[in-house]
Amino acid sequence: MGPVLAGVAQLLALMAALALVYVPLGTYMARVYSSDRHWRVERWIYKGIGANPDAEMRWAAYLRGVLAFSAAGVLFLYLLQRLQGSLPGSLGFSSIEPAQAFNTAASFVTNTNWQSYSGEQAMGHVVQTSGLAVQNFVSAAVGMAVAVALVRGFARSRTGELGNFWADLVRGTVRVLVPVAAVAAVVLVACGALQNFSGIHEVGQFMGGSQAWNGGAVASQEAIKELGTNGGGYFNANSAHPFENPTPFTNLFEIFLILVIPLSLTRTFGVMVGSVKQGYAILATMVTIWAGFTALMMWTEFAHHGPALQAAGGAMEGKEARFGVGASSIFAVSTTLTSTGAVDSFHSSFTGLGGGITMLGMMLGEIAPGGVGSGLYGMLIMAIIAVFIAGLMVGRTPEYLGKKIGSREIKLAACYILITPALVLVFTSASLALPTPPHSMLNSGAHGFSEVLYAFTSASNNNGSAFAGLNANTDWFNTTTGLAMLLGRFLPMIFVLALAGSLAGQRPVPATAGTLRTEKPLFSGLLVGAILIVTGLTYFPALALGPLAEGLA
C-alpha cells in the first residue's frame, strides 16, 4: 500500500471509530449533566470544598465559580513550581524561574499547555503528577461545564439559572474524564508507553556512548492530555517521542482521543435541547471543516517537488518516519482544529501552505471540532452569527432554537469572536516592533514572521503547539503568551455565560413558516461559509505576510 492510500485508510478507520462511540458517549454525557443524583465520592468532594451542588446559579454566580476555581489553580501551580527544588521526587531539578512558572501555570489552567521548557529536563514527578496532570483534568472539565451552561441557556426558558458550576465541574471530572482516561492509559501502557516513577539513569546508544533518561507516569498523562485536548508533553518531543507514542496504532488512538469528546458533545447538545437533529447539524459543520482541512493538508504534504521528496514519498522533513506523511497530516489538523497542541511532527517543517493550514485551524477559533467544551460553545456562537446573517438577508428577526437573537445577544457574540483576533494581532505586532524578541527567531522573512504569529495564535486560542525555531523561553514571551492565554480563555467565557443567562431568561418563540430550519444541510452550509468568511476577513492580511508568502514563493 502506498503512503497516500495508507493515509486515507487511517483516516477512514478513525472516522469509523468515532462514529461507533458518538451516540453512546454523547447520550451518556447528556445524562451526566442532567442527573439530579450525586455519587458518594462526589458528595465527599462537595463537602470538602464547601459547595452545595443542588443550588442553581445565575450566569454571574456561575462565572464567579469559574474564575475563582481557575485563579486558585494558577496560584497553586505557580507555587508548586517555585518550590520544586525543595519537594521530594524533584529528580534533582531546581525550582522554575518566576516568569516561566507564571507562563506554565497560566498555560495548564487555561487548557493550553504551551511549554517553554523541556519536560524531561525541568519538571520532577511531583509537579508533573500533582500539578500538571491534575490541571489536565480540571481545566478540561471547566470547558465542558461552560459549554453545558450555554446549552442549558438554549434549553431553559423564563429563568436565569444555568445549573451549578461545582456540580458540573465534579461530574465532568469524575464521571467522564477520569474513567475514559483510565481505560486509555491502560491501552497505551499495553502498547508500550512508559508508566513508572523511576529516576534519571544512563541508557546505552547503538553508536556507542550513553544518554541520560528519566521515567515518569507518561501513559496516564498522555491519555488525559489528548482526551482533555490539553496537549502538554511529558517529553520535549511530545507525541513524536516513542515513550509517549510508541506505534502507528497508538498514534491513531491518540488522534481518536483528541476528537472523541468534542465531536460527541454535539450529541449531548442535541439531547439536552430536545432535538438530536440540531446536534447532527453542528456535527456536520465540524466534520466538513475537519475533513476539508485534512484533505488540503495531505495534498500539500504529499506534493512531490523534486527528487528528494519524490524518493521520500512526500515532505518528510520534521515528520516521524514511523508514522509517515498521512498520519502526521491527520494529527496536525486534528490538534490545531482542537485546543490540543500535541504534535507527532514539527509544524515549522511543514510546507509553507501546510504550516498556514495549521495556523488557520487555530484562527477559526478551534471549533471543528474544537477543544473539550470550548469547541461546542464556540460553534454555537458562530451558529448565532449565521442565523443573524440569514435574518438580515430576509429581513426577519433571527431565531435559534426558539430564542430570538436580539441586539444584546449579537453584541455578546460579536465580542466573543473579536477577542482572540485582537490578542493575536496586537501581541504579534508588538513583538515584531520591539528590538529584543526578534532575537528569539531562528529564521527571518516570511517564516520568521510565521513563527511569532503562530506563537500568539496558539496562545490566544488556548492551543499550545508551536513552530519549532522560536525561543519562547524569555521574559517577554513567557509574560505575553501567559497573558494571552489567560485573556483568550476567560474573556470569551464571560460573554458565553452572559449570553447563556440572556437566552435562559427568554420566553420560547414558536416556529413558523418563516423560521430558518437550523437542523437542515442548508444551515450547515451557511454556518461553514460564515466561519470561513469571518476568519478570512480577520486574519487574511497576517496570513498573506507569513505562510501564504512563503508557500507561493
Contacts of 439 (CB under 8 A, 6+ apart): none
Lowest mean pLDDT among 261-270, 329-338, 478-487, 527-536: 527-536
* Residue 56 reports pLDDT greater than 60: yes
* Residue 367 reports pLDDT greater than 70: yes
Q: How many whole angstroms separate alpha carbon 156 and alpha carbon 504?
A: 5
- Cell (9 digits) for 76: 497553586
Q: Which of 199, 208, 323, 308 is nearest to 255 (CA)?
A: 323
Amino acid 237: pLDDT: 85
C-alpha torsion sign, points 263, 266, 271, 276: negative
Q: Which of 244, 230, 234 is nearest to 191 (CA)?
A: 244
Contacts of 25 (CB under 8 A, 6+ apart): 260, 261, 264, 267
Amino acid 351: pLDDT: 82
Top-confidence residue, 47 or 550:
47
Q: Which of 47, 100, 110 is nearest to 73 (CA)?
A: 110
* Tens-digit pLDDT profile for residues 14-45: 999 999 999 999 999 999 999 999 999 999 99
Angle (CA) 419-420-425 rounded to 5° is 105
- Average confidence (pLDDT) over 518-535: 92
- Cell (9 digits) for 517: 430550519
Top-confidence residue, 80 or 307:
80
Side-chain-side CA neighbours of residue 510 (13 Å): 2
Average pLDDT value for the chain:
90
Lowest mean pLDDT among 35-39, 97-101, 366-370, 446-450: 446-450
Phi, psi of 214, rounded to the nearest 5 degrees: -120, 150
Q: Hey, what's the torsion of the CAs at 348, 349, 354, 358, to 10 degrees?
A: -30
Peptide bond into 369 cis (omega under 30): yes
pTM recorded for the entire structure: 0.94
* Residue 52 reports pLDDT greater than 70: yes
* Tens-digit pLDDT profile for residues 220-254: 999 999 999 998 888 888 898 889 999 999 999 99
Confidence label for 341 from pLDDT (cuts 50, 70 and 90)? confident
Q: Where are the alpha helices (DSSP H) in 172-306?
A: 178-190, 218-227, 248-273, 276-302
Domain boundaries, the chain: 373-552
